[in-house]
Structure 1
């Protein structure tokens, strides 16, 4: 199955889960290859362009965000765009290794070859306790029941 546009419901869902798995690898070099060389990003308060900048941002991200586990779900799609809702948990290396969860939305625009040419991310971190974690070791992030209050 091709994961290049135009997207169908099936291919949009598959594209989102492929991105989820790629990001859970936490390999900036491999992840950057999924983007066009001139890909434009807004990631929270960072505005970057290009795969070298993507690698740098992700390297810094995972230096701070330890024990990172992510879930992405399809929110909406068109022919060459996908909107995603996501949740991830991490221990903050810059805040005493406290557990945090990020809630957010992304919108993606794709080139004809299926690489992402634009990514806009908005997210907010909240502190959580060990007991409140969803994505514990051995848990399939896709199987966690996330209530409507968190959607």
Structure 2
């Protein structure tokens, strides 16, 4: 099965792929999100190395059980025929109610069918106060009229 858009990516294709990923991650549904990756996908997420869709699903389940109020914005940085570089930012709070903003970059590589085969993510967490939060939309995908990272000065 093909997962459109597929490589080689135009700029518009890459922007669409980034927004599709953002929307999927904002569902916080590990089963749905994992389907965007090849069965044998290779990930580096911070200091964790994952191999295969099942490990990705388990990782996301763990992640979203700890990151409450999770809201994410992704923005394209660059793209090539089958690669996309993304910068992102997300906000969440822990069980104690402490808020964080995570900043990061991802490098993605796709197979010919449009599935992500490789993902490298570098991420830093910064403690913020609840008053410093910028992502206030209801849980789920970011509304189309909500500012992106550049417009928010991030």
SS across alignment from 1:72: strand
Q: Point out where structure 2 has 5 or more consecutive residues left out of the alignment.
A: none
Count residues in correspondence: 146
Q: Deviations over 1:81-118 (max 9, x none)?
A: 0000000000112xx12010000000000000000000
What's the TM-score once normalised by structure 1's chain length? 0.92
Q: Point out where structure 1 has 5 or more consecutive residues left out of the alignment.
A: none
Alpha-carbon separation, structure 2, partners of 1:137 and 1:71: 11
SS across alignment from 1:54: helix
Shift of 1:140: 3.6
Aligned twin of 1:121: 121
- The list of structure 1 runs, each at least 4 consecutive aligned residues, that deviate by more than 4 angstroms after superposition, is none
Q: Deviations over 1:22-80 (max 9, x none)?
A: 00000001111100000000001100100110000000000110010000000000000
Alpha-carbon separation, structure 1, partners of 2:32 and 2:41: 15
RMSD: 1.6
Alpha-carbon separation, structure 1, partners of 2:66 and 2:76: 27
Between the two structures, name the one with larger relative contact order (CA 8 Å, sep ≥ 6).
2
Identify which of 138, 144, 147 aligns with 1:143.
147
